[in-house]
Amino acid sequence: MSMAVHGITLVFPSSSYNSRANLEAIQNERCNFVYGTPTMYTDLLNQDLHQYNLSSVEAGLMGGSPCPPEVLRKLKTEMNMREITVSMFYISSNIIEDLTVRKMNTSSFSSPQILYGTTENSPVTFLGFPEDNEEMKINTVGCIMPHTEAKVVDPVTGDIVTVGASGELMIRGTCVMSGYWDDPGKTKEVISRDRWYRTGLFSDTASLNSLGYCRIEGRIKDMIIRGGENIYPAEIEQFLYRHPKVMEVQVVGVKDERLGEQ
């Protein structure tokens, strides 16, 4: 909506997601800004990019789920995307199904930025900075915003974990919603009495470093408990993505009589 208000051309390549249609649209319409989820970008990278003229592409926005670092690197090396913003905004009721290719003025962009938040948090709570090094940009979602508090707690005991340790991410500040409309039960489930928000229904697992930068490890509901050990699928997925022959990977737990899960 903000793009339309500012008179920016929006290009919708197809009625449903189609990576080839998107590449053709970028080439034919000379689009310079691309929007999509990590999966959509992965599908673009899996096409024969040499068949298309993508020289108009300057920047992109990625959102919806955590992005494997290797995908970001490939966007830079294979699509020559100089700038990209990774915005991990989790929207409870609206899921974007198609990739939108936008033509916009990117001359004001200075460098990649990472943003993180949820609809319930208005939504930005963590933000990366242009001067952050590449490792920070790829492996964290930025630093806690000045108006916001964050802590990582043990999901079982509720105790704050040590710096760098993984746990459940909780947010507090004026950005946190008052509650879900006409649903006090659900509100009580995600917001504590002292107004700490439990990162929505997704229950993100994360870690904080000494500078206040946050790394999203995965989601608690996806966690695999193998013989009492907590395993986050996202960590395994990011490791497997490093292999050049791995295009996409999903890790899930299966029941095991001895270990519980594996």
Q: What is the pLDDT of residues 57-90, one digit of tens each?
A: 988 888 776 677 778 888 888 998 888 877 765 4
Residue 254 lies in a domain: no
> Which pair of structure tokens corresponds to residue 161?
């974990």
Residue 221 lies in a domain: yes
Domain extent for 236: 145-249
Query: pLDDT digits over 86-129, tens only?
Result: 776 543 332 223 344 444 443 433 454 678 888 888 878 998 88
Residue 6 lies in a domain: yes
Residues recorded for the chain = 262
Predicted local confidence at residue 239, as pLDDT: 85
Q: How far apart are the first and last CA of the chain?
A: 44
Shared-domain flag, residues 163 and 244: yes
Shared-domain flag, residues 78 and 164: no
Residue 230 lies in a domain: yes
CA atoms within 13 A on the CB side of 125: 31
Shared-domain flag, residues 184 and 244: yes
* Adjacent-strand bridge partners of 86: 62, 114
Shared-domain flag, residues 156 and 211: yes
pTM across the whole model: 0.64
> Which pair of structure tokens corresponds to residue 171?
């947010």
pLDDT for residue 226 is more than 50 = yes
Residue 123 lies in a domain: no
Give the number of domains in the chain: 2
The Cβ of residue 245 has, within 10 Å, a number of other Cβ atoms equal to 4
Shared-domain flag, residues 98 and 178: no
CATH of the domain at 65: 3.40.50.980
Shared-domain flag, residues 182 and 78: no
Q: How confident is residue 201, by pLDDT bands cut at 50, 70 and 90? A: very low
Question: Which residue is listed with tokens 């993508």?
Answer: 54
Shared-domain flag, residues 24 and 101: yes
The CA–CA distances, whole Å, from 84 to 104, 109, 110, 184, 221 equal: 14, 10, 10, 38, 29
Q: What's the rounded Cα separation, in Å, for the pair 115 and 148? A: 14
Residue 138 lies in a domain: no
Shared-domain flag, residues 101 and 150: no
Residue 52 lies in a domain: yes
The Cβ of residue 98 has, within 10 Å, a number of other Cβ atoms equal to 18
Shared-domain flag, residues 14 and 96: yes
Query: pLDDT digits over 25-56, tens only?
Result: 999 999 999 998 888 998 999 999 999 999 99
* Adjacent-strand bridge partners of 87: 63, 115
Shared-domain flag, residues 86 and 173: no
Shared-domain flag, residues 18 and 79: yes
Question: Average per-residue pLDDT in the chain?
Answer: 81
CATH of the domain at 235: 2.30.38.10
Query: pLDDT digits over 9-31, tens only?
Result: 999 999 888 999 999 999 999 99
Shared-domain flag, residues 85 and 186: no
Residue 124 lies in a domain: no
